[in-house]
Structure 1
């Protein structure tokens, strides 16, 4: 099982869109996957089409992690039923698994900068019951407070999401340094899986310049392919639909990019040295 945090310290870069795009690719590939919606806004839960009944949301599981019984409280994504209904799963194949630890505003009580080591291990304790998944994707809030640090403590890898713009690139540089410090103090086995360039506009000179800057700054940590700006992404998410099962060539092409991105993310060894990110003054 690989646990991957999807993070950004800057809001509005499409972090949840990348999380759900990767979840869609995992579902299409038949990889048993759990999405942990750790953002108090719970947008990933909405996009994944979950309909909780009596299950505990992730915030309440974190409150008593050793008694949480994760398998009793995850909710199947609505995407799974749609795949089965549409006959997208090969005949005779194992049932597709895409479950969600549902987000809620309740998690906000842990989004503080002063969590101690014991609190940072809460998500790790919850995920002790996730052994039958091959992949766990954790959608983090856009901050470096308790919830993100809790996610990093439980993760094998961190994937960062950035737009090719000045403020987003600068924020990604700061996040890389934060990961390096966090590894030293709390999670020596944590590794950066890479950086996803999202909402890329191919005709933008600014985006072309910033992508080249990101390549210079981050080297092999800048994952490929880049994800272009998707005009109908809000419509897809609003319909609680996976990108792989949305009609049209644009969605089909983007789905293929997420397939390749997921493959590159899973094979990345995250072994880049701590000095990979260079100061701007050194360039």
Structure 2
């Protein structure tokens, strides 16, 4: 049984793509057949995994807009067991091209359906907006992973996202739920980071992961080398945090998908 997660936050610069790449990498290293879908026209998840966007024959654009089969559009990554549906700048035009189409909110879900037998986990790196592409991610997903930067306006920024999630749940995808909120770029030396963390936990409760991602220069460097942190610097503080978060998410997924046995 495949579980689909969307990594979402309409605010940029919160570590969304870093979270998507590294959680996907660590779940693959843990043995899960994993797919990462780059749904962001900036293509940072694609370049962050060392894929040359100029050399691509097919991308998320061709899958969504032209109906090219998703399984025929995948590329392999430096992590064994992790496949990628890459993105190019062409995806920037998909919002306008999908707008007049019937069922425009469900194109990604329909594209993913034939791939569910091939993967245990599918992660979608959504763009930093609340447009059609992000709505497609919300409709396709069962669980949401929300990276939240430990800064003063963190909760103010998430309120609009929560309203959008509720609308999608009511009208398009009743199975949608928040799986995990991850505090990113946490500086444990500052009082502000701790105050924000406390507020977020009070507001969102046990949805917030107990594991916080520290502000870590090695996490920032890894994408420029086209590598996830698991390959670039597996002993760094950022790597250890994402490894634990990935284990947490993968463990929850396996527990939820495990068949129930009758008891005598």
Could you say whether these structures have the same fold, taking a TM-score greater than 0.5 normalized by the shorter chain as the test? Answer: yes
The CA deviation at 1:246 is: 2.3
Note if contact 1:51-1:75 (Cα within 8 Å) is conserved in structure 2: no
Distance 1:126 1:30, change over 3 A: same
**Native 8 Å contact 1:42 1:105 kept in 2:** yes
Structure 2 counterpart of 1:176, from 162, 168, 175: 162
Moved over 6 A (4+): none
Distance in 2, matches of 1:185 and 1:166, equals 32
What is the aligned length? Answer: 250
Contact 2:75 2:84 in 1 (8 A): yes
Aligned to 1:231: 217
Paired residues of 2:152 and 2:192 also in contact (CA < 8 A): no
Partner of residue 86 from structure 2, selected from 90, 96, 102: 102
Task: Compute the RMSD of aligned alpha carbons.
Answer: 2.2
The structure-2 alpha-carbon separation of the partners of 1:139 and 1:55, relative to structure 1 and needing over 3 Å to count, comes to same
* Local SS of the residue matching 2:178: strand
Unpaired runs of at least 5, structure 1 = 81-95, 270-283
Unpaired runs of 5+ residues, structure 2, are 255-264
1:248 Cα deviation (Å)? 6.7
Q: How does 1:56-71 map to 2 (within 5 A)?
A: 56-65=58-67, 68-71=68-71
- Map 1:1-283 onto structure 2 (within 5 A): 1-51=2-52, 53=55, 55-65=57-67, 68-77=68-77, 79-80=78-79, 96-111=80-95, 118-131=103-116, 132-247=118-233, 249-250=235-236, 253-266=237-250, 267=252
Q: Distance in 1 between matches of 2:100 and 2:212?
A: 35
Post-superposition Cα deviations, 1:82-116, rounded to whole Å, max 9, x if no partner, equal xxxxxxxxxxxxxx321111111222223369676
CA offsets, 1:181-206, max 9 Å, x none? 21001110111112110010010111
Q: Distance in 1 between matches of 2:234 and 2:165?
A: 38
Distance in 2 separating the partners of 1:223 and 1:173:
18
CA contact (8 A) 1:200 1:229 kept: yes
Q: Secondary structure at the match of 1:213?
A: helix
CA separation of 1:111 and 1:162: change in aligned 2, threshold 3 A: farther
Q: Judge which range, 13-22 or 238-247, deviates more.
A: 238-247
**Secondary structure of 2:145's aligned partner:** strand
Determine the C-alpha separation between the residues in 2 that align with 1:31 and 1:151. Answer: 21
Contact 1:224 1:264 (C-alpha < 8 Å) held by counterparts: no
What is the TM-score of this pair, normalised by structure 1?
0.82
What CA distance in whole angstroms lies between the structure 1 residues aligned with 2:181 and 2:16? 11
> 2:153 aligns to what SS in structure 1?
helix
- Normalised to the residue count of structure 2, the TM-score between the two structures is 0.88
- Contact 1:197 1:227 (8 Å CA) reproduced: yes
Shift of 1:55: 3.3
